[in-house]
Structure 1
Amino acid sequence: MSGKEPVIQSGSEREVVPLVASIDVGTTSSRVILFNKLGQEISKHQIEYSTSASQQAYSASGERNLDEKRRPSSNGSDNEQPIFSAEGIAIEATEYLEIEDLENNVEPTLRFPRPGWVECKPVNILENVVQCFAANLISMDRVNGDRVSNGLPPYRIKCVGIANMRETTLVWSKKTGIPLIDYGIVWNDVRTTEIVQKKKDETSEEYQRHLREMTGLPLFSTYFSCSKLRWLLDNVPAVSKAYEENDLVFGTVDTWLIFNLTHNHVLVTDVTNACRTGFMNLSTKNYDDELLKYWNIDKEKIHLPKIVSSSEYYGNFVVPKCTKKTLTPTAWDLLTSFSNRTPPVPIQGCLGDQSASLVGQLAFKPGSAKCTYGTGCFLLYNTGTTKLISNHGALTTFAYWFPNLHNEDDDYGKPHYALEGSVAVAGAVVQWLRDNLRLFPRAEDVGPLASAVPDSGGVVFVPAFSGLFAPYWDPDARATIMGMSQYTTASHIARAAVEGVCYQARAILKAMSSDAFGSDNKDFLEEVVDETYEKTALSSLAVDGGMSRSDEVMQIQADILGPCVKVRRSPTSECTALGAAIAAAMAFESEEERIIWKNLKDVKKWVYYGGFERGETVSSNTTSNSNLKVFSSKSSNQDRRKGWKMWETAIERCKGWISDIQIS
């Protein structure tokens, strides 16, 4: 461990080093991570999901275990078929990372039954989370044995937080607690296209604006939970039957996990998840009768989770009995002992994944922004306690709500809001360059290749493979590469592809700046005053995710944003999980109980500065933030403006491609 040992806490029997357990359920994997006071990973276990596509490959291969083909062979040969994470990074099974087993006809967690349909198995997700938790307990038990034998205090989990993919819609029985169907509809599923289009056609523009004011969302999108629940009620007899019999429970992934992992089977959802359902009023922080009626949902016939804050006591951790069959006897015994611990371990933090990433990036102040570069990329701009409804294509969402920080300055105990924008393609363009054009063998090679040339040589790459998201919102746009000549090389194309992602991030930040500062005519990332750049509240962009690991890519991002905005890479690669851990640690009512971090300032002190005060002189080997790095623009005004002009021109020329080529 780097940095000094965190402060030791006295336990009921002996001194211990407190940890926070973070459950992080993403679209393609589940993980559980144990964090210490420095924000370091003391233990981690991850299960990468299998999909219906990998199941078909397994069946076609005739092999007993497809995963064995993915691991290095005993003779060290490298001819196995690799698999890739959601960020396009090649992964393989290790002691700490499992790839879901396809033996014995086990159903995959993810399946794609029809084009555009994406489903997940709620039972699998729960079992995977419990298995990851058990693996961490086994690891911690082993490490604690070594620590005690060497005179060091053991680690002890103090509380549990949860981060999860949002909008994914699950339904189960109130009577039995068992899913009514064996799947949930994942956030990026598009089966509800006809439903939302019909709703849009039937709704006046004035009422559409009214709905957006209430929810902060463009409801006429397949993205959100409201249309997914409506589809289930209209198309699945088991769901409609439970609805009529008042046995239907609706929830997102956070609700499903908390329901199953708490001793009292509590039915709750936090505001950052609830605000993505389309049923919650941002102002009241509760379900709105008008919104439920709009989607023809009778609240008397359905059990909706109570909407709560992101940081409060939900219930004590227990291991669900239904998962026993998937665990080894050792794992079950450890989980049972953990469940019966005195005092019990509370689950008390919950954040949707993008809000969790914002918190994990320590972007607490209004005006701070974060960007997570995954398959796509998600930008959140913290607007503080002010709820802004975007006029420039962004969504309005809850950032976090930590009510027990009510005695602090800066309104940290009040609900915080954010503007959110999504870029459809980020890491996916790197995958495309690697797999389709074969420009390089590994995703991490894109940075060096792109930086081998000083600029793109006039090439502009708009990676609109499935249309343009925020702030352009054009589903008929398609990817284009413009400006090529005989001078163009692979490096120019790679650089243009990276710039295409970075320019989209800049466009979203520009739109958010206009929303926040109330001006359509000024570009707050570029405004020049007396040859110097105007200082703006949007002064830094915190970054995490796959592409952020490349120094070259982040320098390109900084150059495109200009000197007003610095790019700050997180000291931890697991910002989402860390955000959930912070939420859990802030749930204790008094600072005396908060033995890990006292408040958000204390979080930054320990996670960023290794326990030292900011600005305090420390030696390089005493800090924990070796990965923390800030990138500043090195570009000239002229080059930056020329590049932005080229980008805007390219965007206009790629818009409407599908509609323009259709023959009536």
Structure 2
Amino acid sequence: MATKRFTAAIDQGTTSTRFFIFDDKGEPVAKHQEEFKQLYPHAGWIEHDPSVLVASARSCIDQATAKFLELGHKPEDIAAIGITNQRETSIVWDSRTGKALHNAIVWCDSRTTHHVRHFKTKTGADTILQRTGLPLSTYPSAVKVKWILDHCKPARDAYDEGHLAFGTVDSWLLYNLAVGPDGEKLHVTDVTNASRTQLMNIDTLEFDASLLSFFELDKLLLPRLAPSADDSAYGAIADGPLKGVRVTGCLGDQSAALVGQKAFKEGMAKNTYGTGCFMLYNTGNKPVISTNGLLTTIAFQWKDQKPVYALEGSIAVAGSAVKFLRDNLGIIKEAHEIGPLAAKVPDSGGVVFVTAFGGLFAPYWIDDAQGTIFGITHYTTREHICRATVEATCFQTKAIIDAMEKDSGIKLQTLAVDGGMSNSDECMQLQADIIGINVDRPAIRETTALGAAIAAGFGAAVWHSFDDLKGVNARNHRSFTTKTTQEQQDRRFNRWEKAVEMSKGWLTTEDIDREYD
């Protein structure tokens, strides 16, 4: 590039919102982050206030831009903005007023268990996985919206009158923060986010009327679908210090992390350790429907190009288990303590923590499990519990890798990592020891935001090919090599699998109906 150009990204996550401005090497030159309140109305429920999501995004843009300007740059130096967001989280609003009619139901919320049971008995249930890439579970957006219709009268009234708009968080942010060329409101999403709703056909990349009918959502107003990198679909920022800057990229957070890791080739994979933990494996231009408990999703799509698909393994609880030790049990005072504490003991002392706070996701898909700790004795210390908490994520990662190898027929050689827990050397060494393959960590671990910025850069023609990204996020990678034998790996993993089996069936049908109805 003749001149240095910047790209930016709104990264709206489960516990915080961030705004980053990156240079042409993928280095963040300005950023701001704000945490926001988590709402837990009942056991297994988690909600966000939609207005807070918008307000935090605006504040982060303002604060990060102020820092950018203090460095001597100008707003017009930012070529484009990308958006990345927590997926599946569902928001509905009245299309006439723009007012949200219910709190956002967050992706890991499990209140819809009984709705899932209902849909599993319907004619056509056996075709849902093949058509959407997702199993019937509490995870996708469709069942969350159905729950809102059944329990929120204002939403039901707007739906019956044909005015209920639905969107994932990206749609809601774009609706509130951006405008089209004539100043109009936008109701739009990209294909990666749409692939998490269970309302889009994974082959046609279009919302499917038969899926809407199956989930009893025929009258729902859906966003317009667009590629992940597009020069015109997402409008421009409506007001504030970056008014007029185009939004040219949009990706669900895990797809964004795959792009940020530059895993553009078939057979490459990444694992992101956030509130949950998500592994994506690039399968190329054709969807691979898993027979081993994984999800099929859209990895990314640039304008006028074929979509790239991925197999995904989703772990509901990762960083949130660390938060649980800190906030609920008081075992640690700060999240970063967990790695050094886990490393103080040579093993977990026989403790296994199945972190099924709302059931288990991939590859198990067990709705009736709850968090369970096995193996506590007089010998157990907080260090053992810390280690078992980290190992829970690492063991589930191994289960996903094994499933991916069965589905793809290819053995993964290296696992690229990012996200909060990847900052800990101790945790990443444990991961390498449990999976038996090398773990690769880049110096820039804000790969989710970087991926959104890369998408925006392609949408705004900052970059034209993947070769243009050779210098982006390329420095100071660190590799963690396994220090365990195959026999040790197998013995530890077998004990984990035994604990998973023992955690099943904790919730009965009556329990589920009583807790989530």
TM-score of the aligned structures, taking structure 1 as reference length: 0.70
Q: Find the aligned partners of 1:268 and 1:171 in 2 and give their Cα distance.
A: 14
Q: Find the aligned partners of 1:431 and 1:244 in 2 and give their Cα distance.
A: 41
Q: Find the aligned partners of 1:391 and 1:315 in 2 and give their Cα distance.
A: 36
Letter in 2 for 1:651: V
1:575 maps to what in 2?
447
1:164 maps to what in 2?
85
What whole-Å deviation, never above 9, does each CA across 1:621-662 have from its counterpart, x for those lacking one?
Answer: xxxx34x21111122233223223333333333333445999
1:367 maps to what in 2?
267
Q: What secondary structure, in the 3-state scheme, does the structure 2 residue paired with 1:181 have?
A: coil
Letter in 2 for 1:126: V
User: Are 1:503 and 2:395 counterparts?
Assistant: yes
1:383 maps to what in 2?
283
2:230 maps to what in 1?
312
Give how far 1:435 is off.
Answer: 5.3
Q: What secondary structure, in the 3-state scheme, does the structure 1 residue paired with 2:291 have?
A: coil
Give how far 1:284 is off.
Answer: 0.7
Q: Is the 8 A contact 1:180 1:238 kept in 2?
A: no
Q: Find the aligned partners of 1:44 and 1:309 in 2 and give their Cα distance.
A: 26
Give how far 1:367 is off.
Answer: 1.7
Q: Find the aligned partners of 1:451 and 1:579 in 2 and give their Cα distance.
A: 32
Letter in 2 for 1:496: A
Q: Is the 8 A contact 2:88 2:141 kept in 1?
A: yes
Alignment of 1:137-148 (within 5 A): 137-144=65-72
Give how far 1:252 is off.
Answer: 1.7
Q: What secondary structure, in the 3-state scheme, does the structure 2 residue paired with 1:606 have?
A: coil
Alignment of 1:5-20 (within 5 A): 8-9=2-3, 17-20=4-7
Letter in 2 for 1:27: T
Q: Is the 8 A contact 2:110 2:358 kept in 1?
A: no
Match 1:607 to one of 472, 492, 516: 472
What whole-Å deviation, never above 9, does each CA across 1:285-322 have from its counterpart, x for those lacking one?
Answer: 00112111212333xx44321211111122442325xx
Q: Find the aligned partners of 1:234 and 1:457 in 2 and give their Cα distance.
A: 47
Give how far 1:166 is off.
Answer: 1.4
Match 1:210 to one of 110, 127, 138: 127
Q: What secondary structure, in the 3-state scheme, does the structure 1 residue paired with 2:146 have?
A: helix
Q: Find the aligned partners of 1:460 and 1:315 in 2 and give their Cα distance.
A: 46
Give how far 1:38 is off.
Answer: 1.3
Distance 1:159 1:396, change over 3 A: same
Q: Find the aligned partners of 2:53 and 2:156 in 1 and give their Cα distance.
A: 24
Match 2:119 to one of 199, 204, 224: 199
RMSD: 2.8
Bigger Cα displacement from structure 2, 225-234 vs 357-366: 225-234
Q: Is the 8 A contact 2:102 2:155 kept in 1?
A: no
Q: What secondary structure, in the 3-state scheme, does the structure 1 residue paired with 2:366 have?
A: coil
1:416 maps to what in 2?
308
Q: What secondary structure, in the 3-state scheme, does the structure 2 residue paired with 1:202 have?
A: coil
Give how far 1:218 is off.
Answer: 1.5
Q: What secondary structure, in the 3-state scheme, does the structure 1 residue paired with 2:107 have?
A: coil
Give how far 1:156 is off.
Answer: 0.7
2:8 maps to what in 1?
21
Q: What secondary structure, in the 3-state scheme, does the structure 1 residue paired with 2:321 have?
A: helix
Q: Find the aligned partners of 1:121 and 1:435 in 2 and give their Cα distance.
A: 21
Distance 1:232 1:482, change over 3 A: closer
Number of aligned pairs? Answer: 506
Give how far 1:171 is off.
Answer: 2.5
Give how far 1:159 is off.
Answer: 0.6
Distance 1:224 1:439, change over 3 A: closer
Match 1:283 to one of 170, 188, 203: 203
Distance 1:462 1:292, change over 3 A: closer
Distance 1:598 1:114, change over 3 A: same
Q: Is the 8 A contact 1:140 1:155 kept in 2?
A: no
Q: Find the aligned partners of 1:514 and 1:129 in 2 and give their Cα distance.
A: 41
What whole-Å deviation, never above 9, does each CA across 1:68-106 have from its counterpart, x for those lacking one?
Answer: xxxxxxxxxxxxxxxxxxxxxxxxxxxxxxxxxxxxxxx
Runs of at least 5 residues in structure 1 that lack an aligned partner in the other structure: 1-6, 10-16, 52-110, 146-152, 321-331, 340-344, 405-412, 518-535, 610-624
What whole-Å deviation, never above 9, does each CA across 1:36-60 have from its counterpart, x for those lacking one?
Answer: 1111111112221135xxxxxxxxx
Match 2:481 to one of 605, 627, 632: 632
Q: Find the aligned partners of 1:250 and 1:484 in 2 and give their Cα distance.
A: 46
Give how far 1:511 is off.
Answer: 1.0
Percent of aligned positions that are identical: 46
2:422 maps to what in 1?
548
Q: Find the aligned partners of 1:487 and 1:184 in 2 and give their Cα distance.
A: 43
Q: Find the aligned partners of 2:13 and 2:508 in 1 and give their Cα distance.
A: 34
Q: Is the 8 A contact 1:389 1:395 kept in 2?
A: yes
Q: Find the aligned partners of 2:194 and 2:504 in 1 and give their Cα distance.
A: 33
Q: Find the aligned partners of 2:49 and 2:411 in 1 and give their Cα distance.
A: 43
Distance 1:643 1:218, change over 3 A: same
Distance 1:303 1:574, change over 3 A: same
Letter in 2 for 1:170: I
Letter in 2 for 1:580: A
What whole-Å deviation, never above 9, does each CA across 1:466-491 have from its counterpart, x for those lacking one?
Answer: 43322222233344444566665544
Give how far 1:184 is off.
Answer: 3.0
Q: Is the 8 A contact 1:351 1:400 kept in 2?
A: yes
Give how far 1:420 is off.
Answer: 1.6
Q: What secondary structure, in the 3-state scheme, does the structure 1 residue paired with 2:278 have?
A: strand
Alignment of 1:482-501 (within 5 A): 482-483=374-375, 489-501=381-393
2:159 maps to what in 1?
243
Q: What secondary structure, in the 3-state scheme, does the structure 1 residue paired with 2:310 have?
A: strand
Give how far 1:277 is off.
Answer: 1.4
1:45 maps to what in 2?
32
Q: Find the aligned partners of 1:433 and 1:302 in 2 and give their Cα distance.
A: 40
Q: Find the aligned partners of 1:660 and 1:192 in 2 and give their Cα distance.
A: 13
Q: Find the aligned partners of 2:355 and 2:220 in 1 and give their Cα distance.
A: 42
Distance 1:490 1:47, change over 3 A: closer
Q: What secondary structure, in the 3-state scheme, does the structure 1 residue paired with 2:71 have?
A: helix
Q: Find the aligned partners of 2:109 and 2:332 in 1 and give their Cα distance.
A: 31
Q: What secondary structure, in the 3-state scheme, does the structure 2 residue paired with 1:158 have?
A: strand
Runs of 4+ in structure 1 off by over 6 angstroms are none
Give how far 1:457 is off.
Answer: 4.5
Alignment of 1:335-414 (within 5 A): 335=242, 338-339=243-244, 345-403=245-303, 413-414=305-306
Q: Is the 8 A contact 1:311 1:587 kept in 2?
A: yes
